Structure 1
Amino acid sequence: MSVTYATRLGGYVFLRNRNFSPRFADMLESAPGCVLITVIAPHFVSERPADLAALAITVAAATRLPLLPTVLIGVGAAAALRYAMG
Structure 2
Amino acid sequence: MNILPVATILLMALSTYFTRIIGYLLLRNRQLSPRMQAIMDAAPGCVLITIISPYFVTDRPADLLALAISLFAASRWGLLPVVVISVVSTALLRFLL
Q: Per the shorter chain, which TM-score range?
A: 0.7 to 0.9
User: Unaligned 5+ residue runs, structure 1?
Assistant: none
Identity across the alignment (%): 53
Q: CA RMSD in A?
A: 2.0
- Aligned-partner Cα distance in 2 for 1:69–1:3: 24
**TM-score (norm. length: structure 1):** 0.79
Please list every run of 5 or more consecutive structure 2 residues that lacks an aligned counterpart in the other structure: 1-10
Corresponding residue to 1:41 among 21, 42, 53: 53
Deviations 1:22-77 (A, max 9, x none): 22111111111212222222212110011011011111212211122111111111
TM-score normalised according to structure 2 size: 0.71
Equivalent residue, structure 2, for 1:80: 92
Greater relative contact order, per chain length (Cα 8 Å cut-off, separation 6+) = 1
